[in-house]
Structure 1
Amino acid sequence: MTFGSAARAFLREHGTEAIEHPGGTLYSHLCRVEQRLAAAGAAPPVQLAGLTHAAYSTDGFDLALIPWTDRDLLRAVIGLEAEALVYLYGACDRDRTWPALATTSTVHDRFTGQRRVLESHLIGSFVDLSIVNELDVIEQSPALLVKHGDYFRDLFARWAPLTSPKVADEIQRLMGPRK
């Protein structure tokens, strides 16, 4: 069984096909995020992180499939590198992290209260995952673009130096130019 198929089985076993999410179910959202990351040329561990990014809950979706303290369980399914990104994404305190991320490279961990300065090889993957997740939600719920579009345009513009070119193209395609 490949990591991808094991991850999909894990998600199904944890009920994601029955959890409502913009655009259908949490399972369909997670699969779309993985597919978007693949289309953007993300490395396989980043794609797997996209597929399982909500395992520990997120600052925007407070439903954990497993407790964040059971990290070994997810590591066994998707590997160390992908799980580390899933943890980082789930643990991110968005209000304290996102505005200054491009200048500080610092993520505030909402689970532990700690701060972590991201290594250069990790920050681009973290930013791309964060953007791709938000783009999928916005595409599935266009009213969110009307309500929060200016916030995300501004945020994504600040993150532009950290964003991969194909993800930047997706921002322009889905959100249009910054006003």
Structure 2
Amino acid sequence: MPRSADRVSAAFRLLEELGASTADHPGGTLGAHLQRVREQLERWDARPALQLAGLCHAFYGTDGFATAPLPLGQRSRLAEVIGAEAESLVYFYASCDRDASYPTLADAGSPFRDRFTGARFVPTLRRRSDFVELTAANEVDIARVDGDFRARWGADLLSMFTRLRPLLSPPAWQDCVTVLAPSP
């Protein structure tokens, strides 16, 4: 099994190949954002698979960011690079129908809707926690680098993460409060 550092390097090469370093994203490029999200998850002491998912979380696009560097039909290509567990987290993140899933995500037994297939299922606690941790890393990064985004969405995001707090690690929660709370 490849070491985590080898997988990170291989993922960076794939990001470069797919043009993420030049794709626009709030606060710079998609590649820079993805790198910062992985680094944020590392600072929060997330396990390596979640860090890799953070680095690749937008590969299939998301409900909030349509750019998809890699088509869904090439999931096996990403799995070869970052491993099956990390790729399944990337898919789960990308597949979230936010309108259908966000309102009840903190509730055990609540359904999650896959926006690609329309399927509804109940994710495990670990899967929901991973999803929320990755979501927090993503949103906190954008809020840090884009003051307009933070001013417009910070309070709403803090409200959402307050509701989802049981699924967040203590360092992730602290960064949500620090970055997203309104300035005095």
TM category, shorter: over 0.9
The equivalent residue for 1:71 is 75
The equivalent residue for 1:157 is 162
After superposition, what is the alpha-carbon deviation per residue over 1:25-54, rounded to whole angstroms, capped at 9, x for unaligned? 100000000000000000000000000000
Cα distance in 1, alignment partners of residues 110 and 145 from structure 2: 29
Cα distance in 1, alignment partners of residues 142 and 173 from structure 2: 16
After superposition, residues 17-166 of structure 1 pair within 5 angstroms as: 17-103=21-107, 104-166=109-171
- Residue pair 2:21, 2:32 contacting (<8 A) in 1 also: yes
Cα distance in 1, alignment partners of residues 110 and 91 from structure 2: 16
**Superposition deviation, residue 67 in structure 1:** 1.1
Q: Counterpart of 1:107 in structure 2: which amino acid?
A: F
Cα distance in 2, alignment partners of residues 130 and 105 from structure 1: 18
- Provide TM-score, normalisation by structure 2: 0.92
> Would you say 1:11 and 2:21 are equivalent positions?
no
Q: Counterpart of 2:100 in structure 1: which amino acid?
A: R
Deviates more, 1:101-110 or 1:14-23: 101-110
- Provide TM-score, normalisation by structure 1: 0.95
Q: Counterpart of 2:157 in structure 1: which amino acid?
A: F
Q: Counterpart of 1:118 in structure 2: which amino acid?
A: P
- Residue pair 1:105, 1:123 contacting (<8 A) in 2 also: no
**Superposition deviation, residue 105 in structure 1:** 4.5
Deviates more, 1:163-172 or 1:149-158: 149-158
Cα distance in 2, alignment partners of residues 101 and 150 from structure 1: 19
Q: Counterpart of 2:12 in structure 1: which amino acid?
A: R
- Residue pair 1:124, 1:162 contacting (<8 A) in 2 also: yes
**Superposition deviation, residue 145 in structure 1:** 1.8
Secondary structure at the aligned position of 1:86 is classed as helix
Q: 1:169 aligns with which of 161, 167, 174?
A: 174
**Superposition deviation, residue 139 in structure 1:** 1.2
Unaligned segments of structure 2, at least 5 residues? none
**Superposition deviation, residue 124 in structure 1:** 1.1
CA RMSD of aligned residues (A): 1.7
After superposition, what is the alpha-carbon deviation per residue over 1:98-133, rounded to whole angstroms, capped at 9, x for unaligned? 111001443211100011211122221111001110
Unaligned segments of structure 1, at least 5 residues? none
Deviates more, 1:27-36 or 1:14-23: 14-23
Return structure 1 stretches of 4+ with deviation > 3 angstroms.
none
Tell me the number of residue pairs that the alignment of Structure 1 and Structure 2 aligns. Answer: 179
